Amino acid sequence: MADPDLCTKFEKLLKKYECKYCYFIKWILIPEMIDGRYFCEPGSREFVELDSIDVEHLDRKTSRKNVLHRVMARVNFSGETCSFPLIVKLPKQNIMETTLCGSFLNEEMFYSKMTLNYGTDGISKCYASDLGRFDGQAVIVLEDLVASGYKQVAEKLNENHLKLCMKALATFHGKGLKLKAHKFPIFREFYAKLSEPIDWLHLNTSPGSVRTSELMVESTLDNPECLDTSLYSVLPVEATLSEKIRAKHNITSKLEFNDFWTICHGNFTRSNLFFRYENGYPSDVKVIDWSTMRYCSPSIDFGQILLENLPDDNNLAKVKAFCQNMLEIYLDAVKDVYLEVDRELLERDVIAKLPFAYGMIENRMLRKTGMMLRALDQLGSFD
Ligand SMILES: [Zn+2]
């Protein structure tokens, strides 16, 4: 009888080497990056060579379009060894497909071009973001945040986490608005690629076009396969509020493209946030997965992170104060990076578009949505 432990060990070993991406990372990507001085400080002239590489297959996301590997690259700098904990993201490419999917291209653009203008605060360090230099394989090579002490939050984000998130989000949105205002030719290249589908713009700027509702348009675009027409048909709130929402629902002239549109993350949720802690409190946040970026109302990102992390409190006044406080933090931080912004107009715009963010939230739990809608009502989103 074979030792079951030995069997699993053997299976693990097999698994470790069967993946063609593991092979690529170990024998092509990392050695070429070392030769190309990707791990050296800019301008350094020290002698550099490969020491060793460990590759771990992160295949919990097998259904996704990308494959992730955790890599430890040890590099020798003039005789001294340094370790680089990395996450390598590679698009799964089908033989039948010759083009990469848009989401990978978005993220590649983010790391190779946008960070040059947006800066790298709040973003994982990127060692390589390239579409073909390494044996024709598209790659994104990032620092492994877990190895640097960052953690994800398993449960809902608390107030301290959320405050950090609001600042990080506002900084990203504000930098985009500033870039749009001051360096439009640069901004144009980014937003042009993130404005798909074009119908979205067209739909919302042409008067008289027939639409079922703006709320539907938004949520359908995001999840074309799960058109939920019942989204607003049954509302877990009081009859008066329900009526109010329905009345608002039929106004189709509100969601227009406007000056506040900027590049948004598109999925600014807990699963894409890593926190560092000092004395038990979150002190820094890093945002990952920029593949869902798009050009839209900043309210979409703001509303998503806010609504998914409302405090567990049935006191409406408290929830309202909590939301207002988060909005203040957000608006102040936008103003910090983009001084010319009309804070008051932006505030009104964010509030008015929050129902769209509500429409985007996946897996809404019925017992929570009542509070989400009441919070939006308190903020004035349905007025
Ligand atoms: Zn692998």
Q: How far is the CA of 100 from the centre of ligand 1 (A)?
A: 20
Give me the domains of the chain, ranges plus CATH numbers: 17-42+49-147 (3.30.200), 150-223+232-379 (3.90.1200)
* Strand spans (E) along the chain: 48-58, 66-77, 80-91, 126-134, 137-143, 262-264, 273-278, 281-287, 294-296
Cα 9 from chain centre = 36
Buried b (16+ CB within 10 A) or exposed e, 79-97: eeeeebbbbbbbbebeeee
pLDDT mean over 197-208:
35
Q: How far is the CA of 49 from the centre of ligand 1 (A)?
A: 23
The token duo for 316 is 């409406």
Q: How far is the CA of 269 from the centre of ligand 1 (A)?
A: 27
CA distances from 375 to 10, 89, 307 (A): 54, 38, 8
Q: How far is the CA of 70 from the centre of ligand 1 (A)?
A: 9
The pLDDT tens digits for 298-327 are 999 999 999 999 998 889 999 999 999 999
The token duo for 346 is 């932006």
Confidence of residue 383 (pLDDT cuts 50, 70, 90): confident
Confidence of residue 205 (pLDDT cuts 50, 70, 90): very low
Q: How far is the CA of 109 from the centre of ligand 1 (A)?
A: 24
Q: How far is the CA of 334 from the centre of ligand 1 (A)?
A: 41
pLDDT for residue 16: 53
Q: How far is the CA of 164 from the centre of ligand 1 (A)?
A: 34
Q: How far is the CA of 67 from the centre of ligand 1 (A)?
A: 8
Q: How far is the CA of 4 from the centre of ligand 1 (A)?
A: 23
The pLDDT tens digits for 150-163 are 999 998 999 999 99
pLDDT for residue 193: 86
The pLDDT tens digits for 79-136 are 899 999 999 999 987 656 667 778 899 999 999 999 999 999 999 999 999 999 999 9
In degrees and rounded to multiples of 5, residue 276 shows phi and psi of -110, 150
pLDDT for residue 347: 97
Give the distance between the most distant pair of CA atoms in the chain: 76
Q: How far is the CA of 39 from the centre of ligand 1 (A)?
A: 22
A 10 A CB-CB count for 206 gives 8
The pLDDT tens digits for 8-24 are 665 665 555 568 899 99
Q: How far is the CA of 64 from the centre of ligand 1 (A)?
A: 14
Q: How far is the CA of 126 from the centre of ligand 1 (A)?
A: 20
- 3-class secondary structure, 137: strand
Q: How far is the CA of 34 from the centre of ligand 1 (A)?
A: 20
pLDDT for residue 363: 65
The pLDDT tens digits for 265-299 are 999 999 999 999 999 999 999 999 999 998 989 99
pLDDT for residue 359: 79
Alpha carbons 21 and 98: distance in angstroms, whole number: 18
Q: How far is the CA of 83 from the centre of ligand 1 (A)?
A: 20
Considering the chain, what is the average pLDDT of its residues? 84
Q: Which residue has the higher pLDDT, 330 or 236?
A: 330
Q: How far is the CA of 194 from the centre of ligand 1 (A)?
A: 30
pLDDT mean over 128-149:
95
Confidence of residue 59 (pLDDT cuts 50, 70, 90): low
Q: Which of 202, 173, 157 is nearest to 311 (CA)?
A: 157
Q: How far is the CA of 57 from the centre of ligand 1 (A)?
A: 4
Confidence of residue 212 (pLDDT cuts 50, 70, 90): very low
Taking a C-beta distance cutoff of 8 angstroms, is the pair 96, 109 a contact?
no
Confidence of residue 230 (pLDDT cuts 50, 70, 90): very low
Q: How far is the CA of 155 from the centre of ligand 1 (A)?
A: 29
Q: How far is the CA of 68 from the centre of ligand 1 (A)?
A: 8
Q: How far is the CA of 116 from the centre of ligand 1 (A)?
A: 31
A 10 A CB-CB count for 371 gives 19
In degrees and rounded to multiples of 5, residue 38 shows phi and psi of -70, -20
Residue 207 has what DSSP assignment?
T
Q: How far is the CA of 26 from the centre of ligand 1 (A)?
A: 10
Model confidence at 248: pLDDT above 80: no
Q: How far is the CA of 212 from the centre of ligand 1 (A)?
A: 46
Alpha carbons 273 and 268: distance in angstroms, whole number: 8
Which residue blocks in the chain are alpha helix, DSSP H?
Answer: 4-18, 20-24, 30-35, 102-109, 115-118, 159-182, 184-194, 198-205, 214-222, 239-249, 298-307, 316-337, 343-360, 366-379
pLDDT for residue 227: 36
Q: Which residue has the higher pLDDT, 263 or 215?
A: 263
Confidence of residue 239 (pLDDT cuts 50, 70, 90): confident
Q: How far is the CA of 179 from the centre of ligand 1 (A)?
A: 39
